[in-house]
Every structure is written in C-alpha cells, then in structure tokens.
Structure 1
Amino acid sequence: MITRRERALNYAILTVFAGLALLPLVGVVSSALTPAEESSSSFTWPSSLDWGNFSAAWTQGHFGSYLGSSVLVAVSVVLLTSVLAILAGYSFAHFQYRGRSALFYLTLVGLMVPPEAFVIPLYFDLRDMGLSDTYWSLILPQTAQSLAFGVFWMRNFFRSVPRSVIEAARLDGASDWRVLWGILVPAGRPALLTMAMLVFMWTWNEFLLPLVMITDEAKRTVPLGLAFFQGQHTTQFSLLAAASVIVALPVVLLYVFLQRHFISGMLSGAVKG
C-alpha cells in the first residue's frame, strides 16, 4: 500500500515534469500575446496583452484556407483508415484462412517504412495518374501510412473481446456483419476514438507529403502554410508564435474533448498481442 509520504513524493515528481513540459507552451503563448515592439526570440513576459497578433497572423497567413484544407484531409484520412482498419482488424482477429499471419505481418511492414523512402517515386506515380496537386494525393498516401497502425490496433482490441460474447451473438442468429457493427464496434468506442485521434494528429502534423505533392496555395495544409508564413516573417516573433498557436489549437482542443476516451482506449487498445 502506498503511504502518504510516497504519494506526496510521486505528486512532487509529476509536478516537476509537468512544469518542464508546460514551460515551452507557456513561452509560446506568452510570445503570441506580446506586442510587436516588445517581441524577441527569447522568453519574454508582456507588459500588456496584444490579442491582435492572432487576427493579424490569421489574415496575413491565410490560415482560414489552410485550416479548411487540413480539416478536409485529416477527416477523410480518419474515416477511411477507421473503416478499413475495423474490417481488416476483425478479419485478422476472428477469421481463419490460409496466409492470415503472413498477410498480417506484411501489413505491419508499413510501420517500419519511413515516408522519405517512397515519397519521390510516389509523387511520379500520382503525377502519372493525374492526382498530383489534388487532395487525393494527400488523402490516399496518408491513409495507407496510417492503416498499418490502425489494423494492428483494432486487431488487438477485437482479440481482447471474450469469445463467449461473439459465440452468444451467433447463437442468437447474428451474422458476422451484425456481430462486427452491432456489438464489437460500439463496445470498442474508446479504442476506436483513440486510434482516430492519433491518426488525426499524425495527418494534421504531416509536412513532407504536402510539401512534395501540393503547389496550389489554396490546397496547402496548415504545417505547410506555417512554414511559408515563417519564411515571410522571420523576425516577427509575436506573429510566428500566434500562428503556431492557431495551427496547434485544433489538436489540443480535440485532445481535451476526448481525453477520457483517449486514456481508456490506451488502456484497452493494446491489451492482447
């Protein structure tokens, strides 16, 4: 049993590490609220709060358009990855067929191949198909990138469900389709939401693919837009900090909103290998 002294020590250590993790975030927010004439590259505490930096960064950086592109790409990737991962994970977890294990481990190779290894040939392939400089050139590759993790994640969850639950449903006349969508998917909502949130975050932060695939400014995603904005405002630190907050805010809000499901999903998504 944990004593009061040990609990106090644990909280003290966690508080120190939490402070170290939050300090850079506080510095960015502080810089974003610093008036332009006071801004600098070092940590500064503003004498007054200048909320106009956010509106200036939003207008000058065209982040409204970039956010729309990122939302479209990220939501599409999450939906496609979720549906395909559910179907493939259920197949690998509960169906018996020749080559199942080999096909599963072949799928996991996608976790080991870095995007830098295939982005150039991928660009030429998509260009020959007429898909370069379109949203599909971002959605399809990032869905493929996320699918290996999604299949692994959902397979582990489906294998953690007691087989008696599935057998009872089949005794009641439920088909495999009904078992999957009527029983397993609703029961796996925390694991599914955790997977969706991680895929959304990875897709939102992707920089290399948009840099290679997209030349049309209207189709730029927020990381790419932020990079161009930084190149145009290298010494305007308050504007850069405000733009960074704008880019990161959707992911932060999503995490805060889904925090309870995220923690529950992390505990249940990889229970059984």
Structure 2
Amino acid sequence: MIVRAREKWLGRVLLIILMLVTIMPFISLFVTALHAPGTYPSGLEWPAEPRWDNFVTAFQSANMAALLGSSFLIEIAVVPAAVLFATLAGFALGHLRPAGGRIVFVAFILGLTLPFEGIITPLYFQIREMGLLNTRWAIILPLIGLFMPFAVMWMRAHFITMPADLSEAARMDGATTWQLFWRIHIPLSVPALSSLAILLFLWTWNQFLLAIVLVNDPEKRTMAGALGAFQGQYGTDIPLLCAGSLLILTPTLIIFLIFQRHFVSALMQGSLKG
C-alpha cells in the first residue's frame, strides 16, 4: 500500500510538472502581450498598466478578419477531402487488402519521411507551371497530398483492427462492399475520423512554410502564414507580436477543447485494440 501511495503521488507530481512546462510559454506570451508596444519585457513581470488594446491593434493591423475567412476556406477544402481520401484508402489497405497493397503501404510509409522543407523547391516550380501561384489552391492541393501518408496510415491502423466476424456476418446478409463500408465500418469509425479531422485542422491552420513560399498575398494565406507579414511590419514590437500569436492560436485551442473527448476516445480505442 505504501509503494502504491508513493507511485500515485509521484505520478501526480510529474503531471503537475509537465502541465507547468506546457503552460508556461503561453503564460509568458500572454503577460508579454499586455506590455506597452515597443517595450522589451523581461521575464514574467506583470505590467503596471496592462494594455488590453494590444490585441485589438494586432487584430486590425494584421487584417485578421480577412485572414480568418481565408483560413476557413482552406480548412473547408483540405480537411474533408483529406479525410475522405484517407478513409477510402485506409479501408482498402486495412480491410479489403487488395493485391499489391503491401507495395502501396510501403510507399505511404516512405511518404511519412518526406519533410515539407525537402520538397518545397520542386513544389514551387510545379505549382508555377500549373498557374496556381498566389492562389489558395497553391496551399490546398499540396496539403491534401502531403497529409495523405499520415492520414492513410491512421485510418488503416483503425480498419485493420476491426473484427473480421463483423464483415463476414454482413456479407452473409448480402451486403455489398460499399454497404459494408458505409453502413457498418463508418459508424464504428467516428472516433478515428473525428480525431484525424482535428489533427488535420490544426496542421492546416498552423501551416506556415507553404503559405509563405507559394502565396504572396497575405489575405490568401493561412493565419499562421500571415504572421510572417505581420512580423515584417512589427518585427521589433514584441508585445504586438505576442498578441498576434495568441490570436492565431486561439481558434485551434477552442477546436481542441471542444473535440478533445473524441480525440482521447480514438487514442484509447487504439490502445485497447492494440
């Protein structure tokens, strides 16, 4: 009993330390954002007169109303398409297991090793040849393709753990492959689908490199991509930069808090099946 109590308290202490390490950067950003513009705050010193108007100034200076609309347009185009393609491919590789599926599986694994930085130059020339530079399609199409390796592996890992007896029973009842996919497997895949959608939403929202290189107009970029233009304008104004960063982070934090149960449910489901 004494050993279990010690382990319990040790676990709590470690969780508290981890929580503090995670939260401290956000607290530092928040406190710095409340200082007077043009100053150089040191540490976590709370300002004598908090400048809450820094958030309004950052929002207006970066034209974040237009950026919000652009980011949501990109999200609406990227996330549903990526989830759909990944679900179809994951079902085929994980459940139907067609001939040559292992070769395709290896190709997707190799795709996981490709960093964005390593392909940005050839991607730039390809997008230019397609006439899509400085358009939202220059962000949407590459992101869908770059998300496929992880997304397909995620959905394959889910479908491969589905009980074979369930599919056999549906087949005996006369279910076609499409009915098996749509009526049996999709309803059981809601946690995996929702958690994948959350991840793709966060990654798309925070996409910086593609937006900076392939799109010149800040109002056609993602919120994170527009931070580069904002930094160029207020590169020496640390409080305004922190305020802008927090405004960009806020939507992703809200989305995660709303759907965290689905995300945790998918992770727990995978651990129990594994």
TM-score over 0.5 (shorter chain): yes
Q: Which runs of 5+ in 2 are unaligned?
A: none
Deviation digits for residues 229-252 of structure 1, max 9, x if unmatched?
122112322211110001111111
- Corresponding residue number in structure 2 for 1:5: 6
How far apart in 1 are the matches of 2:194 and 2:144? 16
Q: How is 1:55-94 mapped onto 2 (pairs within 5 angstroms)?
A: 55-94=56-95
Once the two structures are TM-superposed, the CA of residue 83 in structure 1 deviates from its matched residue by: 0.3
Q: Secondary structure at the residue paired with 1:160?
A: coil
Q: Secondary structure at the residue paired with 2:160?
A: helix
Q: How is 1:27-176 mapped onto 2 (pairs within 5 angstroms)?
A: 27-36=28-37, 40=41, 42-176=43-177
| Aligned amino acid, residue 66 of structure 1 | L
How far apart in 1 are the matches of 2:34 and 2:248? 16
How far apart in 2 are the matches of 1:119 and 1:134? 16
Q: Secondary structure at the residue paired with 1:3?
A: helix
How far apart in 2 are the matches of 1:227 and 1:211? 7
- Corresponding residue number in structure 1 for 2:225: 224
How far apart in 1 are the matches of 2:213 and 2:39? 37
Once the two structures are TM-superposed, the CA of residue 271 in structure 1 deviates from its matched residue by: 6.8
How far apart in 2 are the matches of 1:176 and 1:214? 42
Once the two structures are TM-superposed, the CA of residue 39 in structure 1 deviates from its matched residue by: 5.5
How far apart in 1 are the matches of 2:118 and 2:255? 31
Contact 2:212/2:228 (8 A) holds in 1: no
Q: Say how many residue pairs are matched.
A: 273
TM-score, with normalisation over the residues of structure 1?
0.93
How far apart in 1 are the matches of 2:97 and 2:27? 52
Q: CA RMSD in A?
A: 2.0
Contact 1:222/1:247 (8 A) holds in 2: yes
4+ aligned runs moved over 4 Å, structure 1: 269-273
- Corresponding residue number in structure 2 for 1:246: 247
Once the two structures are TM-superposed, the CA of residue 202 in structure 1 deviates from its matched residue by: 1.4
Distance 1:9 1:97, change over 3 A: closer
Contact 2:134/2:215 (8 A) holds in 1: yes
Once the two structures are TM-superposed, the CA of residue 267 in structure 1 deviates from its matched residue by: 2.7
Deviates more, 1:14-23 or 1:32-41: 32-41
Contact 1:156/1:271 (8 A) holds in 2: no
Deviation digits for residues 96-150 of structure 1, max 9, x if unmatched?
4321111111122211111222222222122112112111111111111111111
Contact 2:191/2:266 (8 A) holds in 1: yes
Q: How is 1:198-209 mapped onto 2 (pairs within 5 angstroms)?
A: 198-209=199-210
Q: Which runs of 5+ in 1 are unaligned?
A: none
Contact 2:234/2:241 (8 A) holds in 1: yes
Once the two structures are TM-superposed, the CA of residue 37 in structure 1 deviates from its matched residue by: 7.2
Distance 1:66 1:232, change over 3 A: same
Once the two structures are TM-superposed, the CA of residue 181 in structure 1 deviates from its matched residue by: 1.6
Deviates more, 1:137-146 or 1:232-241: 232-241
How far apart in 2 are the matches of 1:101 and 1:255? 34
How far apart in 2 are the matches of 1:156 and 1:270? 11
| Aligned amino acid, residue 95 of structure 1 | L
Contact 1:156/1:272 (8 A) holds in 2: no
Contact 1:190/1:265 (8 A) holds in 2: yes
| Aligned amino acid, residue 247 of structure 1 | I
Q: Secondary structure at the residue paired with 1:247?
A: helix
Deviates more, 1:160-169 or 1:33-42: 33-42
Paired-residue identity, % = 37
TM-score, with normalisation over the residues of structure 2?
0.92
| Aligned amino acid, residue 58 of structure 2 | A
| Aligned amino acid, residue 104 of structure 1 | F
Contact 2:86/2:148 (8 A) holds in 1: yes
Q: Secondary structure at the residue paired with 1:7?
A: helix
- Corresponding residue number in structure 2 for 1:192: 193
